[in-house]
Amino acid sequence: MDKNYKVAIIGCGGRGDKHALGFDADNRCKVTALVDIKREAAEKINKKYNFKANIYQDYREMLVREKVDIVAICLWTDLHLPVFMDCAQAGIKAALVEKPMAITWENSKKYRQIVEKTGCQLTFGHQRRFAEGNQLARKWIKQGKFGEITRMDMFSPHHILDCGTHTIDQALSFNQEKDVKWVLGAIDTRKIISIYDVKAETGAAGTMVFENDVNANIQLGLPDQEMWGGVRVEGTRGFIEVFWDGNYGKGKVYDDPQWEAPEVNTDDEIQMKKMISNAVDSLNNGKEPELSYKKALRAAEIIFAFYESVYRHKLIKLPLTEGIKNPFYTMLEQGQISYDEMDKMP
Ligand SMILES: NC(=O)c1ccc[n+]([C@@H]2O[C@H](COP(=O)([O-])OP(=O)(O)OC[C@H]3O[C@@H](n4cnc5c(N)ncnc54)[C@H](O)[C@@H]3O)[C@@H](O)[C@H]2O)c1
């Protein structure tokens, strides 16, 4: 098949490389431009995949000189929104942006206005939805293998915005994209962590209840956590533990004691290939992509509601009201959080 879509990758670090792998595998796409302020990072990817792409150090210059259809935005978090805005305004057909959406709830919501104005297809990098084990678990849950879902236990490494977003997205997908009614949160700030320049707590715990009355607890970066990252789904007929990468922990179907969850492929390359393929399919058929910004926005809303709950010492009902930025930063600015140590990653 002809290479139908011209692609630019903006940000050629760790995630840029993974996106490159996905685009390289999709014969409807051709990577024609690579952008990185460090030229050598773009050159490395160009050589690795033999793209023969034009290299730029300024994405704005690339947007003027190249007629690309799709962009992958693989930059640190605070650059996601402004770079997407420039790309959408330049007439790009689809953007695959890395998670998380933005540092604030206010900025997370701005994507919708840009999409509605420009018609640009927008997805976020919650690629773990395409892990074989996650896909299979969603199918079982939908078929009622574990009966009616009654509760979930959600686990993640520290940092609810950077890491917790994967777990919350996973739980939303297992609970058939149902809305959350309310959130109550607590954070451990004995130490602060900064990941991709976004400051957050090193531990957190909370509770949320979905509109279908599924109760869910969440733990992030806490000592003695039962799972490092993933969701335990409990139903009236059984339960299953699904790690982030789709690997299974414990699982039971009460009326089928012989049942065991199978071994699954957890290769993240497959997730990247499926992520790109699904986004290109959606561009062709107009259907909502699996990783649509609308889904990412729901995970973001839960995260900022969690912080708002910590800030206000109150249970927060969703939908989240206007005027909320990042209450964790508000607490830092107002001196409500003081800390002796800050870990920086990377
Ligand atoms: N989906 C996932 O599973 C997953 C995993 C890890 C990280 N992430 C997210 O991906 C994002 C990027 O992470 P990473 O690990 O690829 O970071 P990275 O530091 O490896 O790569 C970022 C690249 O962007 C380049 N850059 C910086 N400013 C630029 C600019 N203005 N224009 C062009 N290039 C610029 C840097 O030189 C660097 O090469 C983060 O937001 C992170 O949260 C997602």
* Confidence check: pLDDT of 65 > 70: yes
Q: Is 248 in the pocket of ligand 1 (CB under 6 A)?
A: no
Tell me how far apart the alpha carbons of residues 246 and 226 are, in angstroms, rounded to a whole number.
16
Residue 343 within any structural domain of the chain: no
Residue 16 within any structural domain of the chain: yes
- Express each pLDDT in 102-159 by its tens digit: 999 999 999 999 999 999 999 999 999 999 999 999 999 999 999 999 999 999 999 9
Q: Are residues 173 and 314 in the same domain?
A: yes
Over pLDDT 90: what percentage of the chain? Answer: 97
Residue 317 within any structural domain of the chain: yes
Q: Are residues 181 and 225 in the same domain?
A: yes
- How far away, in angstroms, is 10 Cα from ligand 1 center? 9
Q: Is 73 in the pocket of ligand 1 (CB under 6 A)?
A: no
Q: Are residues 166 and 257 in the same domain?
A: yes
Tell me how far apart the alpha carbons of residues 126 and 193 are, in angstroms, rounded to a whole number.
22
Contact between 194 and 343 under an 8 Å Cβ cutoff? The reply is yes
- How far away, in angstroms, is 308 Cα from ligand 1 center? 27
Q: Are residues 287 and 311 in the same domain?
A: no
Residue 344 within any structural domain of the chain: no
Q: Is 77 in the pocket of ligand 1 (CB under 6 A)?
A: yes
Q: Are residues 175 and 214 in the same domain?
A: yes
- Express each pLDDT in 83-110 by its tens digit: 999 999 999 999 999 999 999 999 999 9
Q: Are residues 258 and 276 in the same domain?
A: no
Q: Are residues 188 and 309 in the same domain?
A: yes
Nearest CA to ligand 1 atom 1: 125
Q: Are residues 163 and 303 in the same domain?
A: yes
Q: What is the pLDDT of residue 322?
A: 83
Q: What is the pLDDT of residue 81?
A: 99
* Confidence check: pLDDT of 2 > 60: no
Q: Which domain holds residue 70?
A: 5-127+270-291
Q: Are residues 13 and 71 in the same domain?
A: yes
- How far away, in angstroms, is 318 Cα from ligand 1 center? 31
3: confidence class by pLDDT, cuts 50, 70, 90: low
- How far away, in angstroms, is 325 Cα from ligand 1 center? 23
Q: Are residues 136 and 123 in the same domain?
A: no
Average pLDDT, the chain: 97
Tell me how far apart the alpha carbons of residues 231 and 175 are, in angstroms, rounded to a whole number.
11
CATH code of the domain covering residue 20: 3.40.50.720
- How far away, in angstroms, is 36 Cα from ligand 1 center? 10
The CB density around residue 125, as the number of other CB atoms within 10 Å, is 24
Q: Are residues 219 and 205 in the same domain?
A: yes
Q: Is 38 in the pocket of ligand 1 (CB under 6 A)?
A: yes
Q: Are residues 146 and 250 in the same domain?
A: yes
Mean pLDDT, residues 209-221 taken together: 98
Work out the burial of residue 256: count CB atoms within 10 Å of its CB; fewer than 13 is exposed, 13-18 middle, 19 or more buried. exposed
Nearest CA to ligand 1 atom 21: 13
Mean pLDDT, residues 315-332 taken together: 95
Q: What is the pLDDT of residue 238?
A: 98
- Express each pLDDT in 10-59 by its tens digit: 999 999 999 999 999 999 999 999 999 999 999 999 999 999 999 999 99
Q: What is the pLDDT of residue 341?
A: 86
Residue 75 within any structural domain of the chain: yes
Q: Is 196 in the pocket of ligand 1 (CB under 6 A)?
A: yes
How many structural domains are present in the chain? 2
321: confidence class by pLDDT, cuts 50, 70, 90: confident
Q: Is 298 in the pocket of ligand 1 (CB under 6 A)?
A: no
CATH code of the domain covering residue 153: 3.30.360.10
Q: What is the pLDDT of residue 339?
A: 85
